[in-house]
Amino acid sequence: MTTPTITVAGAGIVGLWQALTLARRGFSVRLIERSVEPFAQSASALAGAMLAPYCEAEAADPLVRELGLKSLALWPQSYPGVTVKGTLVVAGTRDRAELVRFARMTDGFEKLDAEELNALEPDLEGRFAAGLHYPAEAHMAPAEAMRFLLDAIRAAGVQVAFSSTWAGRSSAEETVIDCRGLAARGELTGLRGVRGERAIVRVRDVDLIRPVRLLHPRHPLYVVPWGGRRYMIGATVIESDDDGPATVRSALELLGSAYALHPAFGEAQILDLGAGVRPAFADNVPKIVVRGRTIHVNGLYRHGFLLAPVLAELVADYLATGAVDDRVFKMEAAT
Ligand SMILES: Cc1cc2nc3c(=O)[nH]c(=O)nc-3n(C[C@H](O)[C@H](O)[C@H](O)COP(=O)(O)OP(=O)(O)OC[C@H]3O[C@@H](n4cnc5c(N)ncnc54)[C@H](O)[C@@H]3O)c2cc1C
């Protein structure tokens, strides 16, 4: 008897990990995506692609940290492009209290004095008196990672169809993993959009090794090195589902903060300025909503790259054994 095909709807970072994990577990899988070009309509393409479970614990539910640590181990097993150089957190002299607060809310760091900070990130020499280093955290360039996963999915035997809009189950027997992000809002009560604007720049005279977070009471910022002197500067967090172009106000905040981190960002070339909308539930914790043979994986908020691998494992375990983690799964009546 052949195993019935599982449909994964949506090829953002969540759908990619679902398709790959299920195919490697022996399921027959097809992945369908509405956009013509891979990733063109996904929030995932806008991400900084940091894997930062410790830093995110500053504001996230403890479950995000717990699941994120599992994903941190899963990513390098499938993608060799993960850079594990940690995260550096700094604050300007006037915002030193922010650093104390951040340290109180998080763990997994070592405290750095000015000398240690200079040794770790030489291009920031003399700019900050203290910092926090989270050595286990990682990052990647999202476009490269997603392309790699797509190739791996095809190599694992998944049928992939772009320009293919999912419009509902085709038969009562079909199992669907719905990974449509914000487009599934009509079916998931409470799913909302949280706008994030970000800039991509190229800078000649700064060579940062790891993501750097500059704390500020109103405009916290991070800078992620994507290689080739490209940096992602992000990101705003705005309660809106508007995915229109970045505003002047946000651009000023982002670029001004990068300039405060290092004046060489003043000479940076702006390669792209854009906005994506993160799908999120009220508690900003992802959910796996099971309605009979339709399984929604959604609400990954700021943590799509961080949590996609571990959620894929949870769905594969559920399909194989019926195992359910009550903190993530919501079992509902089939529709
Ligand atoms: C500025 C910014 C920075 C971020 N930085 C990070 C970070 O550093 N680390 C991190 O972990 N996360 C980060 N995130 C969050 C992360 O990007 C999101 O959590 C993630 O993109 C959500 O992925 P998704 O697959 O659920 O949704 P999406 O990426 O939006 O994918 C959904 C896909 O479904 C497709 N689709 C929709 N409807 C249909 C249909 N009917 N049929 C077929 N296909 C359909 C869409 O076209 C899309 O490709 C960031 C987000 C933003 C905006």
Q: Which residue has the higher pLDDT, 51 or 4?
A: 51
Q: What is the mean pLDDT of residues 76-96?
A: 96
Q: Is 300 in the pocket of ligand 1 (CB under 6 A)?
A: yes
In degrees, rounded to 5, the angle at the alpha carbon of residue 18 between the alpha carbons of residues 277 and 179 is 35
Q: Which fold has domain 87-135+192-280?
A: D-Amino Acid Oxidase; Chain A, domain 2 (3.30.9)
- The per-residue pLDDT for range 146-185, each reduced to its tens digit, is 999 999 999 999 999 999 999 988 888 899 999 999 999 9
- The per-residue pLDDT for range 192-246, each reduced to its tens digit, is 999 999 999 999 999 999 999 999 988 899 999 999 999 999 999 999 999 999 9
> Tell me, what's the pLDDT at 335?
74
Q: Is 41 in the pocket of ligand 1 (CB under 6 A)?
A: yes
> Tell me, what's the pLDDT at 219?
86
Q: Is 183 in the pocket of ligand 1 (CB under 6 A)?
A: yes
The answer to whether the Cα torsion of 82, 83, 86, 91 is positive or negative is negative
Half-sphere exposure of 153 (CA within 13 A, CB side): 27
| 181 Cα–ligand 1 center, Å | 6
| 284 Cα–ligand 1 center, Å | 14
Which among 13, 285, 310 is the best mutation to test ligand 1's pocket, defined by most ligand atoms within 8 Å of the CB? 13
| 131 Cα–ligand 1 center, Å | 31
Q: Do domains 6-47+141-188+282-332 and 87-135+192-280 have the same CATH topology?
A: no
Give, as one character, the DSSP assignment of residue 3: P
Half-sphere exposure of 242 (CA within 13 A, CB side): 10
| 62 Cα–ligand 1 center, Å | 22
> Tell me, what's the pLDDT at 171?
86
Give residue 64's pLDDT band: very low, low, confident or very high (50, 70, 90).
very high
Give the residue among 187, 218, 201 at the shortest CA–CA distance from 287: 187
Q: Is 280 in the pocket of ligand 1 (CB under 6 A)?
A: no
**CATH node for 6-47+141-188+282-332:** 3.50.50.60
CB-based contacts of 34: which residues, under 8 Å, 6+ apart?
10, 41, 163, 164, 165, 166, 183
Q: Which residue has the higher pLDDT, 248 or 171?
A: 248
Q: Is 287 in the pocket of ligand 1 (CB under 6 A)?
A: no
> Tell me, what's the pLDDT at 110?
98
The answer to whether the Cα torsion of 257, 261, 265, 266 is positive or negative is positive
209 in Cβ contact with 117 (< 8 Å): no
> Tell me, what's the pLDDT at 1?
44
Domain ranges for the chain: 6-47+141-188+282-332, 87-135+192-280
Tell me how far apart the alpha carbons of residues 311 and 67 are, in angstroms, rounded to a whole number.
8
The amino acid at residue 173 is E
Q: Is 43 in the pocket of ligand 1 (CB under 6 A)?
A: yes
| 270 Cα–ligand 1 center, Å | 23
| 13 Cα–ligand 1 center, Å | 6
Name beta bridge partners: 73. Answer: none
Q: Is 179 in the pocket of ligand 1 (CB under 6 A)?
A: yes
Query: How many angstroms from the chain centroid is the CA of residue 43?
Result: 9
Tell me how far apart the alpha carbons of residues 50 and 224 are, in angstroms, rounded to a whole number.
8
Q: What is the mean pLDDT of residues 60-67?
A: 98
Q: Is 142 in the pocket of ligand 1 (CB under 6 A)?
A: no
Give residue 299's pLDDT band: very low, low, confident or very high (50, 70, 90).
very high
The amino acid at residue 23 is A
Half-sphere exposure of 50 (CA within 13 A, CB side): 28
- The per-residue pLDDT for range 24-39, each reduced to its tens digit, is 999 999 999 999 999 9
Indicate which residue's Cα is closest to atom 1 of ligand 1.
196
Residues of the chain with pLDDT > 90, as a percent, come to 94
- The per-residue pLDDT for range 13-26, each reduced to its tens digit, is 999 999 999 999 99
| 279 Cα–ligand 1 center, Å | 7
* Residue 207: count of CB within 10 angstroms of its CB: 12
Q: Is 55 in the pocket of ligand 1 (CB under 6 A)?
A: no
Give residue 53's pLDDT band: very low, low, confident or very high (50, 70, 90).
very high
| 43 Cα–ligand 1 center, Å | 3
pLDDT, mean over the chain: 96
DSSP for 16-48, please give it. HHHHHHHHHTT--EEEE-S-SSTTTT-SGGG--
